[in-house]
Structure formats: structure tokens, C-alpha cells
Structure 1
Amino acid sequence: METIKQAQVINWLEKTAHVIGENKDYLTKLDSDIGDADHGFNMERGFNKVLEKINELAASEDLQAVLKNTGMTLLSSIGGASGPLYGSFFLQAALPLEGKTELTVEDLANSFGKGVDGIKARGRASKGEKTMIDTLEPAIDALLLSVKNKDSIETALSNMLAAAEEGMKFTIDMIATKGRASYLGDRSIGHQDPGATSSFLILKTLKESIIQPNS
């Protein structure tokens, strides 16, 4: 059976820190249009803290511990609303992984599904409100369909990313009803949500950490 190895998860977290750093200005620009103009800075700070702990994370074969430690780090270091939301995602995503040292597609779907539930509970948000949920929930649905279809890891992650990208782009035409962007009302239409965008970048990096882009 194909599985995602612990080293690949560590590689994902390490690469995510670099990708977020590379896209810091882009995320901040998106946030300046409809928010506080700090999303890129806050995300970079949080994932740089994860990067500082990467050797500690890599020393643990227990993926529950890896994601829990990541969640706690993000929770304590990302400012604004993103810290509690991304922290909750990783903390809740860790729950189904007790004793896991590698992941099947089903494990990943269950883990990320719990993570999205954590964001929904913390942010009281749902799909269609121009938030990170609009990227993440379609991605989870695609993973669950891949589990049902017994897809390979490559197919599952490709489908996951396609659904995430579509969801992210849908936020452009949405009216924001959560967070600071909701104060803009109709003026939020035409702007891509920064949280949906950072979530997409994290999922894109996951795929690229496990499957070579040219494969």
C-alpha cells in the first residue's frame, strides 16, 4: 500500500515555511485589499517558528506529535485571526493520527477533515463565506472521493489541489461575511481571500513535497 512517510511530512512543513516566505508580499497585498494587511507577515512569522523547530519535529516518528507540535507553535506565534485558525487546524488534524508513522490517503483525509472541523468550530465559519474554508473543504471532499475510488496518492493529491484551487478562485466573486472583510460588504467582491490563498499554498506545497512536479 502506498503511504506518505514521516520524512515527507517534515519536508512539507519545511518547504511550507519557504513558500510562505516567498509569497509574504503577495499574501499581504491580498490582505491589504480587504483586511488588515498583515496576513503575509503573520504567516511568515508563524512558519519560521516551525522551521526553527524542524529538527525537533524530525526527531519524532509519531506524526500525531509532529502535527500537534506544529499546531502549538503556530498558535503561539501567528498574530491576528490566523494563529488560532491554523493552530486549531494542525492540533485537530493530529487527533486521528495516534501511533501513526506514515499516512494512507484515508489517514490524510481523516486528519485534514478533523483539522477543517477545528477551524469551523474556532472561526464559526462555513463554506461560501469567503474564508480559508472555501479552499480547504473542497480539498477534503476530493480526498474523501479518492478514498472511495481507491485512487493512488498522486491522483488523490492532484484532485485535492485542483479542488482547492477552484475553491480559492471562487472567493473572488464572493461577498465576505466573516472577519474584517465582512465590513466591506459588496466591496469585498472582486478580491481573492488571503486565508483561502495561504491554505492553497500549504496544500500545493504538500503535493509538491510528496510528488515531484514533473512526475
Structure 2
Amino acid sequence: MTIATEDLQRLFALIARDIAARRDHLCELDGAIGDGDHGLAMDAGCEAAAKAVAALDRAQTAPTAVFNAAAKAFLNTVGASSGPLYATAFMRAGAAVKDKSELSDDDFLRAFAALAQGIQERGKAEPGEKTMVDAWKPAADAALAAWASGTPLSQSLDMAEQAARQGCEATKDMTAAKGRSSRLGERVIGHIDPGAASAAIVIASIAKFVEQHDSCRIDM
């Protein structure tokens, strides 16, 4: 069984719900070292992406177009730094599965890795700089390594989720090299990076989606 456009519509709806549920927590994290609006920005962006994707004709829309619609909606809604970062990520995911009418497990994993690469390249960040890359890069690396060793997709993304959570938690001990929080120097130590925290939520949503999708395969 493959992942079709209607499945991706469910994925974006799931991400939007999970981010909305943690919006206030993300704002609290950002309030400690930033403007305090990261939760609002991510909530608005994910909701806009989910609505744009839901409006597509699933019978006429390929997965690439789903990711591109999400990218455009997110960018048009979020002016903060997360806007262009996630827009680039979704566009890279779309490019990774170009010309596919449905996605195999391997296709989906390539799209997932492209999300992480897009964010890292657009943000020009490396792990250890207290950004969302500290969650995305370890997650993609863990998923790709697990998949290469023959691990099923759902378990590979479970490992990605664990790596993202660990990467997010590790930002607590870092100083910031990017953004407003970089001006605070060592005062940011002891605080989790809000971008890494929201990334961990998105990655957990993706892992949950795949697990649910796999359970449907088994039930069928």
C-alpha cells in the first residue's frame, strides 16, 4: 500500500492539530529567549498549510503539488523566520517526489530527509547552534540510517522522533549562534530552543502518521 494525496492531507491536518495543542507551550519557550510568538507563528502556518492542502482535489493532485501548496500557504501566513524555512522544506520535499502519483515508503523517507535538508540549507545552520536544525538533522540522519539497515518505515521514523527529542533537549545547554537569542550570550543556557521544540512536535506528528497508516495496512 502506498501514501496518496489524501493521506498527505491527513498528515498536514495532524501536524496542525498537534502544533495547535502545544502553541502556548511554544510561546512560553520563546518568551524566555525571543519574542514569545513562535507558537503563534507555527500554529498559524501549520493551520494555513493544512487548509490549503485540504482544499486540493485529491483525485487530480500529485504529492508534489501537495507539498508546494503547503509551502506557499505557510510562507504567505508566517513572516517570521520559520516561514521561509518551512516553505523551503516543503518545496524540497515536493521536489524529492516529483513525477510520483503516489509515494512508496522509500519515496516518503526521501521527502522526510528533504524537509530536514531544506531547513538546514535555507537557515545556513549546523547542529550545535541552538536552532531547529538540532532536531531536524539528527532526526533525518537517524531515519536514513535505520532505513538503510532494513528497518521498516514506521520504526525508522520512531527513531527519528527519538533523535529529534534528544536534539531538542540538548539545545538547553547551548548558546545561540543565530537569530535574536544570539544577542543574549550565555543567558540562553538552560532554555530549550523553541524552533527545535516545534520541530520535534512536527517530526513526532509525522512518525504518528506513518504508524497510523501502517496499522491501516495491517487491518486491511
* TM more than 0.5: yes
The residue type paired with residue 41 of structure 2 is N
1:133-164 Cα shifts (integer Å, max 9, x gaps)? 01000111111112211211221111111111
Match of 2:11?
Answer: 12
The residue type paired with residue 173 of structure 1 is D
**Whole-Å separation in 1 of the counterparts to 2:197 and 2:31:** 14
Deviates more, 1:116-125 or 1:37-46: 116-125
**Whole-Å separation in 2 of the counterparts to 1:145 and 1:131:** 22
Unaligned runs of 5+ in 2: 216-220
C-alpha contact (below 8 Å) 2:171/2:193 kept by paired residues: yes
The residue type paired with residue 51 of structure 1 is A
**Whole-Å separation in 2 of the counterparts to 1:65 and 1:21:** 24
Match of 2:123?
Answer: 123
Match of 1:186?
Answer: 186
- Tell me, yes or no, if structure 1 residue 67 matches structure 2 residue 79: no
| Count, aligned residues | 213
The residue type paired with residue 52 of structure 2 is K
1:87-115 Cα shifts (integer Å, max 9, x gaps)? 11111111111122333343233223333
**Whole-Å separation in 1 of the counterparts to 2:23 and 2:17:** 10
**Whole-Å separation in 2 of the counterparts to 1:204 and 1:37:** 23
Q: Report SS of the residue matched to 2:55.
A: helix
- Tell me, yes or no, if structure 1 residue 35 matches structure 2 residue 19: no
Residue pairs, 1:1-215, within 5 angstroms = 3-57=2-56, 59=58, 60-212=60-212
**Whole-Å separation in 1 of the counterparts to 2:65 and 2:101:** 10
Q: Report SS of the residue matched to 1:36.
A: coil
C-alpha contact (below 8 Å) 1:65/1:94 kept by paired residues: yes
Unaligned runs of 5+ in 1: none
**Whole-Å separation in 2 of the counterparts to 1:202 and 1:58:** 24
C-alpha contact (below 8 Å) 1:10/1:58 kept by paired residues: no
Offset at residue 203 of structure 1 (A): 1.0
**Whole-Å separation in 1 of the counterparts to 2:36 and 2:16:** 19
Offset at residue 3 of structure 1 (A): 4.1
C-alpha contact (below 8 Å) 1:105/1:147 kept by paired residues: no
1:18-62 Cα shifts (integer Å, max 9, x gaps)? 111111110100000111111011111112212322332362541
**Whole-Å separation in 2 of the counterparts to 1:48 and 1:212:** 21
**Whole-Å separation in 1 of the counterparts to 2:2 and 2:152:** 9
Q: Report SS of the residue matched to 2:100.
A: coil
Tell me the C-alpha RMSD between the 2 structures: 1.9
**Whole-Å separation in 2 of the counterparts to 1:43 and 1:151:** 31
**Whole-Å separation in 1 of the counterparts to 2:96 and 2:49:** 21
C-alpha contact (below 8 Å) 2:53/2:66 kept by paired residues: no
TM-score with structure 2 length normalisation? 0.89
**Whole-Å separation in 2 of the counterparts to 1:54 and 1:111:** 16
The residue type paired with residue 191 of structure 1 is H
Deviates more, 1:117-126 or 1:14-23: 117-126
The residue type paired with residue 52 of structure 1 is K
Deviates more, 1:200-209 or 1:26-35: 200-209
Deviates more, 1:195-204 or 1:143-152: 143-152
Offset at residue 120 of structure 1 (A): 2.4
